[in-house]
Amino acid sequence: MDAKADTAGPIILFDAECILCSANAQFVLTHDRKKRFRLAAMQGELGSGLYRRFGIDPTNPDSIIVVDGDKMLRDSDAVLAIYAGLGWPWKALALFRLVPRFIRDPLYLFVARNRYRIFGKRESCWLPSPEFRDRLL
Protein backbone atom coordinates (compact mmCIF):
# COMPACT_ATOMS: atom_id res chain seq x y z
CA MET A 1 0.00 0.00 0.00
CA ASP A 2 1.52 3.36 -0.90
CA ALA A 3 1.73 6.38 1.38
CA LYS A 4 -1.28 8.08 -0.24
CA ALA A 5 -3.52 5.01 -0.21
CA ASP A 6 -6.30 4.56 2.30
CA THR A 7 -5.82 7.86 4.10
CA ALA A 8 -9.48 8.80 4.62
CA GLY A 9 -9.78 9.90 8.25
CA PRO A 10 -7.05 10.29 10.85
CA ILE A 11 -4.27 7.72 10.97
CA ILE A 12 -2.02 7.51 14.01
CA LEU A 13 1.52 6.43 13.10
CA PHE A 14 3.32 4.88 16.03
CA ASP A 15 6.38 2.82 16.93
CA ALA A 16 5.10 -0.76 17.32
CA GLU A 17 8.37 -1.86 18.95
CA CYS A 18 8.12 0.75 21.72
CA ILE A 19 6.32 -0.49 24.83
CA LEU A 20 4.98 3.01 25.68
CA CYS A 21 3.84 3.65 22.10
CA SER A 22 2.13 0.26 21.86
CA ALA A 23 0.36 0.83 25.17
CA ASN A 24 -0.86 4.19 23.88
CA ALA A 25 -2.09 2.53 20.66
CA GLN A 26 -3.97 -0.05 22.70
CA PHE A 27 -5.44 2.72 24.86
CA VAL A 28 -6.66 4.57 21.75
CA LEU A 29 -8.25 1.45 20.28
CA THR A 30 -10.00 0.69 23.55
CA HIS A 31 -11.31 4.23 24.20
CA ASP A 32 -12.09 5.38 20.65
CA ARG A 33 -15.79 4.51 20.86
CA LYS A 34 -16.57 6.18 17.52
CA LYS A 35 -13.76 4.25 15.82
CA ARG A 36 -12.46 7.51 14.42
CA PHE A 37 -8.77 6.63 14.40
CA ARG A 38 -6.89 3.98 12.51
CA LEU A 39 -3.33 3.04 13.32
CA ALA A 40 -0.26 2.19 11.28
CA ALA A 41 3.10 1.08 12.60
CA MET A 42 6.07 3.11 11.44
CA GLN A 43 7.77 -0.22 10.76
CA GLY A 44 5.17 -1.11 8.10
CA GLU A 45 5.03 -0.09 4.46
CA LEU A 46 2.20 2.43 4.85
CA GLY A 47 3.61 3.90 8.06
CA SER A 48 7.14 4.35 6.76
CA GLY A 49 5.76 5.77 3.50
CA LEU A 50 3.72 8.37 5.35
CA TYR A 51 6.71 9.34 7.50
CA ARG A 52 8.78 9.85 4.33
CA ARG A 53 5.94 11.78 2.66
CA PHE A 54 6.14 14.33 5.47
CA GLY A 55 9.95 14.48 5.49
CA ILE A 56 10.58 12.31 8.57
CA ASP A 57 13.07 9.45 8.52
CA PRO A 58 11.02 6.35 9.44
CA THR A 59 14.13 4.54 10.69
CA ASN A 60 14.83 7.22 13.27
CA PRO A 61 11.63 9.10 14.07
CA ASP A 62 11.40 11.05 17.28
CA SER A 63 7.69 11.71 16.97
CA ILE A 64 4.28 10.19 16.78
CA ILE A 65 2.35 11.69 13.90
CA VAL A 66 -1.32 11.92 13.00
CA VAL A 67 -2.13 12.13 9.32
CA ASP A 68 -5.54 13.28 8.13
CA GLY A 69 -5.54 13.55 4.33
CA ASP A 70 -2.85 16.06 3.40
CA LYS A 71 -2.53 17.41 6.95
CA MET A 72 -0.06 16.14 9.51
CA LEU A 73 0.30 16.82 13.22
CA ARG A 74 3.38 15.82 15.16
CA ASP A 75 4.86 15.90 18.64
CA SER A 76 2.63 17.26 21.41
CA ASP A 77 0.08 18.58 18.87
CA ALA A 78 -0.46 15.01 17.64
CA VAL A 79 -0.87 13.62 21.16
CA LEU A 80 -3.35 16.33 22.14
CA ALA A 81 -5.33 15.83 18.90
CA ILE A 82 -5.58 12.12 19.63
CA TYR A 83 -6.94 12.64 23.12
CA ALA A 84 -9.30 15.38 21.93
CA GLY A 85 -10.62 12.94 19.34
CA LEU A 86 -11.43 10.29 21.94
CA GLY A 87 -14.26 12.31 23.48
CA TRP A 88 -14.96 12.79 27.17
CA PRO A 89 -13.25 12.57 29.60
CA TRP A 90 -10.03 12.35 27.53
CA LYS A 91 -10.98 15.42 25.51
CA ALA A 92 -10.29 17.52 28.61
CA LEU A 93 -6.55 16.95 28.02
CA ALA A 94 -6.87 19.27 25.01
CA LEU A 95 -6.65 22.10 27.55
CA PHE A 96 -2.89 21.54 27.44
CA ARG A 97 -3.01 23.28 24.06
CA LEU A 98 -3.07 26.45 26.15
CA VAL A 99 0.51 25.65 27.14
CA PRO A 100 2.76 27.10 24.42
CA ARG A 101 4.27 24.58 22.01
CA PHE A 102 7.79 25.77 22.86
CA ILE A 103 7.17 24.36 26.36
CA ARG A 104 5.13 21.25 25.40
CA ASP A 105 7.31 19.96 22.58
CA PRO A 106 10.65 19.77 24.44
CA LEU A 107 8.95 17.73 27.18
CA TYR A 108 7.35 15.46 24.59
CA LEU A 109 10.62 15.09 22.65
CA PHE A 110 12.58 14.21 25.78
CA VAL A 111 10.26 11.26 26.41
CA ALA A 112 10.11 10.30 22.71
CA ARG A 113 13.89 10.26 22.30
CA ASN A 114 14.37 8.23 25.47
CA ARG A 115 11.34 5.93 25.09
CA TYR A 116 13.30 2.69 24.73
CA ARG A 117 15.57 3.45 27.66
CA ILE A 118 12.71 4.52 29.94
CA PHE A 119 9.92 2.11 28.91
CA GLY A 120 11.66 -0.65 26.97
CA LYS A 121 11.54 -2.10 23.48
CA ARG A 122 9.72 -5.17 22.21
CA GLU A 123 11.56 -7.92 20.36
CA SER A 124 8.85 -7.83 17.68
CA CYS A 125 6.12 -5.40 16.69
CA TRP A 126 2.99 -5.26 18.81
CA LEU A 127 -0.23 -6.48 17.19
CA PRO A 128 -3.69 -5.63 18.50
CA SER A 129 -6.20 -8.24 19.59
CA PRO A 130 -8.40 -9.67 16.81
CA GLU A 131 -11.29 -7.34 17.65
CA PHE A 132 -9.16 -4.33 16.68
CA ARG A 133 -7.19 -5.73 13.72
CA ASP A 134 -9.49 -4.04 11.20
CA ARG A 135 -8.27 -0.68 12.52
CA LEU A 136 -4.60 -1.43 12.01
CA LEU A 137 -3.40 -0.52 8.53
pLDDT per position as a tens digit, 14-42: 988 889 988 999 999 999 989 999 999 99
Per-residue pLDDT at 7: 46
**Dihedral pair phi/psi, residue 110, rounded to 5°:** -60, -50
The residues near 31 (Cβ < 8 Å, ≥ 6 apart) are 86, 90
| CB-based contacts of 52, cutoff 8 Å, min separation 6 | 3, 58
For the chain, list residues with pLDDT below 50: 1-7
Q: pTM of this prediction? A: 0.85
Give pLDDT, residue 5: 43
